Every structure is written in C-alpha cells, then in structure tokens.
Amino acid sequence: MAAPILRRGFPGGRWALVWIHGGCRHRNGAPTGPTHGSTRGRSSVAQQSLQTAQKPRKGEHKWETVVGLEVHAQISSNSKLFSGSKVCFAAPPNSLVSFFDASLPGTLPVLNRRCVEAAVMTGLALNCRINKKSLFDRKHYFYADLPAGYQITQQRLPIAAQGSLKYSICTGQRRSQMVTKTVRIKQIQLEQDSGKSLHDDLRCQTLVDLNRAGVGLLEVVLEPDLCCGEEAATVVRELQLILQALGASQANMAEGQLRVDANISVHHPGEPLGVRTEVKNLNSIRFLAKAIDYEIQRQISELENGGEILNETRSFDHKLGCTVPMRDKEGEQDYRFMPEPNLPPLVLYDTSCLPAGADPQQVINIDRIRDSLPELPSVTRDRLVGEYGMLPEHSFVLLNEVGLLEFFQNVMKETRAEPKKVTNWVLNTFLGYLKQQNLAVSESPVTPSALAELLNLLDRKVISSSAAKQVFGELCKAEGKTATQIVSEQRLELMQDREELERLCHATMDEHPQVVMDMKGGNPRAINKLIGLVRRASLSRADPTVIKEILERKLSP
Amino acid sequence: MLARTVRVRLRAPLGRLREFASKADPWAKAWGSSADGGQGQEAERASPRTRSTPAAPQEGGRVSAELIEHLQRLALVDFGSREAVARLEKAIAFADRLHAVDTDGVEPMASVLEDRCVYLRADNVGEGSCAEEVLQNSRHIVEEYFVAPPGNIPLPKLGKQDPFSHS
C-alpha cells in the first residue's frame, strides 16, 4: 500500500518516483488492447527476484528488455547556434530566418558562445568528461525542412562524453524503499535543429517554416541501461529538472523544447541483443512511458508468436495507446558523415592551461563554469531533507511539481509552525486540492501568506486541525478574506477557558449517565462517544485531546 | 628532411601499394559504422532487414552497379553513362595512391584550420526579420510558408542489368 501522502501528492503526468512491483515483471500473451499500464520488462542490470506470470505458457522463456534514449534539448539562448537569428517560439512563419538558415550560397556558420557554455554546464552536471577539443561534422540526408541537405553536428568528437545520471525508484512490497540507479551518458553534442514541416494532406503538400532551422540543440545520448517505461520517464524528468536548474534549456516537452526518441529491443537472457525499433514523436513524459511499455509488449508477443521484429521507426498514437510504423524513410539511412570544413576545432580551456593575454570573449574556461554551476536538483533534495527533516519522497514531490518548492519556501518564511507540519499541509491538503481542481501551483487561489497565516493560527492552538481544514476550504473560494477573518466570522476559535470546558464536560456526563456507565465498565468506545457529545455541545470549539484528558481525569477515582 | 622521408616511402615496392589499396577505409574507423548513423551502441545488434551500404570498390577498381545506384540516390547525381562510371573508377584509383603513405599513429587532418580554434560569437540577435527576401527565391509559396511535396519522392528503382536511364 502506498503511503497516503504520496498517493495524493503524486503529480499526474509527472513521474517523480517509479513504482515497480518487486522488480521488473512482464506479462506473457498478446497485447490486450490500449492499456498496458502494468507491464514491465525485466531489468538486465539490476538483480531482482523473478516473478513469472500467473499462467505460464508452454515453453515460456523469460525476456530481457533493453531501452536506450536519445534526448534532444533546445538550448535556451537569444540567437541560433550558427547564425544571429532570434530564437523564439511561435513567431510569424519564416520571420526568424537569416540567409545562412535558409542555406543560401555564400553564407558560413559562426558558432554561438552561449550554446557552448550551455553544453559545458550540462556536461559538468552529468559528470561527463569535457573534451577540450571537439569537432563538427556534417550529417547528410534529404528532407524539405533541412534546406542545406545536411545537419551540422558533432558525431566524431563531441563536446562531452562518458557521464552518468542518478535517479531514484521506489521498490519493495510497500513501495517504501528508494533505490538509486544510474544510467550512463554516452555523449553530449551540439547540433542544429531542423525547420518545421506542416503536412497538408488535403492539397498533398508540405508547408515548411524555417524559424526553427538552425536553433541550437543539445543531444544527450544515453546508454541502453534502462528496462522499462517508468525508468525512462524518471530519467527524462530528472534530466528536465537538471536542464531547467542550469538554465541551459527550458526543456518543456509540450512546446517541443525537449524531444525524446526511444530505442527498444528484447532478447532472452544470455542471448545476443534483439533487433531494435525506434519510437519517435513522443511529446509528453506520460506518453513516453506508455509507448515504451506498449512496444516492449508488442515485441514480446510478436516474437512468441513466431514473427520477427523489423528494424523500423515507429510513432506513438496516443489516442489508441499503441505504436504504429512511420512512413518508411527509404530504408537504411547512410548519413555520409564528413568533417565540417567551415568550422575549425572547438577548443576549451581550464585555469591551468589558459592562454596568457587571450581575449576573454574568445576563451571558455571550464573551471570558471564549474564554479558557477547553480544548485542541482539532487543537492536541493538532500538539502530539504537535512534542513526540514522531511522524507526523501517528499523532496521528490516538492521538486517535481512546478512552482511547489517556491511556494513551500515562501510559506516557511512566514510561519513559525514546524517544518513537518508545513510539509504535510503543502503536500497533502494544498497539493491534493490543486490536483482535484486540476490547477497548477501558479493558478492557486491560496497564496503562501494565506496558508502561512492559517498555519500560525493552528500552531498557536487558536483553532483545531479540523477547523483549520474548514478554513482552508473557505480560503480556496478566494473571496478575499484572510484566515483570521474567516475564523472570527464562523466562530471557529477553540475554547480557551478551561473551567468552562470542565463545566461542559460535567454537564454532558450528567446528561448521559448510560454512556458514563459504559465507560466505567471498561468499554473503550464509550469515551469516544462522550468526547463527541462534548464536542457537539461546545459547537466544535473544543480541542478533542483536552476533552479526553478532562474526562479521563474525572472518571479516575 | 620531411620531404626526403616521404620520397623514400613512395619508392616502396608496388606490392605494398596493392596491399594498401584494399585496406579498410580509415574514415570508417573514425566514425564507426556510418550506416546506422554512427551510434556505436548498436554494433552488437542483429543485422537489420534492410540492405546495408554496398561494398567499397575492391582491388582492380570496379564499382558495382549496386554502389552506383546507392550513390545516385544519396547524392542525387546521375552517372549517365558507362564512361562516367569508368571515370569514377579512375578517380578512385588515383586517390587510392594516398594509401601509399604510412599514416600509422598519425591523426587524420580534418581541416587545414586545425591549428586554429573556432571563433565564438556573442549571443546577440542581429539577423532575421527578412521573410520577404528569404521567400523570394521560392517559386511557389503559401501564406509565407515554403511549399514542398508531401514527403521525399523516392527515386525510381533502376534495373540491375542497366543502371542508366539513358546512355
């Protein structure tokens, strides 16, 4: 059973944590339709106990799944990678296109310094080796949105290589154990984005907008260490958080600033790797997980029925929840890589080898960039756990929900309540309400100050916790009243006068002698009934714990 | 002194020349398999169903019809006649003489600018906003978009016997 705090705090569509039932399992048999929420592939990396399906078929074999990701992140910069055109989402078609972007003859690429810095920051954040010398290449293929007929990329010697990314998964029977896993980063390279094609099937034509052509991309190639959709979703989410924390990319999947392609294959343990398929056109993390799980299941059932897997590119139809083959791009692509003749090598320095008297604009110092890296998500999470004593799972939820961490910190600034109480309120009551109303933190009717005020009232024991929930409900209506105003209007203050409460208890006991007898007879539920009666008599203005204490004292001889 | 060394090497026996002519392409080593986009991690995978890149010309220098078709498709050039293919074969043989130089342990030179480092431009906007000019070259535009056919139009498949549409 999942802990209640996480069930409600679980952000829809954002994968903070991954639930895996005692390891990756798979379900044999043909895919039953669009929903494959519970199927997994067995991890080839982790040693987990095997759990077979309930009804094993004859000759059933275990399957290992291999998932590799290629992530393209649009670099957050003012101008494009090799030209001075503006980078902007949603502008009039072809209005942000320079002569170089349109690949008119006589134009040359000029590298953007900011893009290089973004690549170095990302490489450092992902523990990569930064290559002090990296080279640019041309990757040739024909498509209407690639006017030059080739893309400038860094295939041979990229700017960064051999890194790693840690992510956390919840495992165990009660999903309470957090396991840290690592995925290796093969390389990070700078490359150009292509333009956008709008397909007009009616008139049998494609409309091409080159605004996006030439925008800087960071391609992050991950080694195939992953085994299922949920692991992939967690990794992509973590990468998104890192890129956003660095400011290297806004990494918004819905706006196309972060694109992920998945390579999936299955094989029997001990046998060589199977044929892989590539799944593209995934524009949300949720669809990424679904598509991978569907594709794994499709490959398994195809192979079990004696079919074979084609090395093809597929896209994900999210309405049907399945992958479909894309239009065949003329079979196997031969990209004819060649060095980019117009660009000399990119040379980076560190403090030890900085050339004397060099123009600072022309020199990039890796050490200087490393020293100015902002706090990474994993460090922020550790800091939250250390500073506020919250569970690691809470820190994940706080970071995964956009704007929630800032909200939480603003509340903490204005309240004297205990951090644990604040955490509980923010992650359960507040976030639960937002999820129910399908609101983002930025759209919340309750401001951090309002919540802080409410928590202060609770902390000073001016109101009971049930009254506080009631006040919160009122605050959500956003009628402009503060917590204090609501409390006085609805007379929710706790009774402060102890003597009056004692008199009330006494009166209630006299009115219900039967219940008192039951209590004296040792019935444990009777006292709760009496507490309820007293509370009702006090118009819910008495603290139940105090009532209980008074009653117990009265009843003891 | 360097020139003398080179001259000595070129005088190597002809047999050695032949040996180099059939050596594997050194660029292939740098880029790995170019067929799958150079993603080295795929090297161990089972072979895909589609055709792989046709073999490079062997010793003797004949270029197969399959390779001609492949090159025509990739580079959109038309090797219109047998003479053109013969000229291609001669050009390859001429270039093969580069293998006579012993390049063991020497990094390939990708650019004569290899001793320089690339110029870094400041991240300022200074170009663009010229949609009208950029679209000028295009004969057919729709509401400021370029117009292209719905997808890549594949080249017609050529017969194996006669790889030339006209001769």
Q: For residue B141, list its beta bridge partners.
A: B146
Facing residues of A89 across strands?
A: none
Q: A56-65, A117-126, A251-260: lowest mean pLDDT where?
A: A56-65
- Between A118 and B19, where is the model more confident? A118
In chain B, which residues have their Cβ closer than 8 Å to the Cβ of A334? 34-35, 53, 70, 74
pLDDT, position A326: 80
> Which positions in chain A touch B146 (Cβ < 8 Å)?
94, 144, 207-210
pLDDT digits (tens, 9 = 90+) for A400-453: 888 899 999 998 888 888 888 888 889 898 999 999 998 888 888 888 888 888
Q: Are A189 and A53 in contact (CB under 8 A)?
A: no
Residue B137 DSSP SS3: coil
Angstrom CA distances, B131 to A91, A98, A211, A447, stand at 11, 9, 10, 45
Q: How far is A431 from chain B, CA to nearest CA, in Å?
A: 39
> A538: Cβ–Cβ under 8 A, 6 or more apart, which residues?
A495, A501, A504
- The CB-side HSE value for A44 (13 A sphere, CA atoms) comes to 21
Distance to chain A for B42, nearest Cα, Å: 9
pTM here is 0.75
Residue among A68, A96, A205 minimizing CB distance to B150: A205
CB-CB neighbors (< 8 A) of A68 in chain B: 41
Using pLDDT thresholds of 50, 70 and 90, give the confidence band for residue A96: very high
Report which of B49, B48, B31 is spatially closest to residue B40, judged by C-alpha positions. Answer: B31
Span B52-62, pLDDT tens digits: 567 676 656 67
Closest approach of A332 to chain B, Cα-based (Å):
6
Q: What is the ipTM of this complex?
A: 0.70
Of B35, B45, B144, the CB nearest to A94: B144
CB-based contact A40:A213 (threshold 8 Å): no
Distance CA A345, CA B79 (A): 35
> Which chain A residues have a beta carbon less than 8 Å from that of B119?
110-111, 362
Q: Are A92 and B129 inside 8 Å of each other by CB? A: no
Q: Which residue of A has its CA nearest to B130?
A: A95
| Distance separating alpha carbons of residues B96 and B91, to the nearest angstrom | 9
Question: Closest to B150 (Cβ–Cβ): which among A95, A199, A336?
Answer: A199
Fold topology of A498-555: Arc Repressor Mutant, subunit A (1.10.10)
- Give percent helix, percent strand, percent coil of chain A, each to the nearest 5: 35, 20, 45
pLDDT band at A320 (very low <50, low <70, confident <90, very high): confident
Parse chain A into domains and list their residue ranges.
Answer: 64-346, 377-489, 498-555
- Which of A77, A113, A156 lies at the smallest CB-CB distance from B30? A156
CA distance A22 to A25: 8
- Closest residue of chain A to B113, computed from CA coordinates: A344
What are A127-156's pLDDT values in tens digits?
999 999 999 999 998 889 999 999 999 999
Measured at the CA of A104, the angle between CA A101 and CA A110, to 5 degrees, comes to 50
CB A413 within 8 A of CB A32: no
**How is residue A97 annotated by DSSP?**
-
Nearest to B129 among A95, A186, A197 (CB): A95
Asked if residue A53 lies in contact with residue A27, where contact means CB atoms within 8 angstroms, the answer is yes
Instruction: Indicate if the alpha-carbon torsion angle A323, A326, A331, A337 is positive or negative.
Output: negative
Q: Report the run of H or E that residue A406 belongs to, with start and end.
A: helix A404-414
Q: Indicate the pLDDT class of residue A186, thresholds 50, 70 and 90.
A: very high
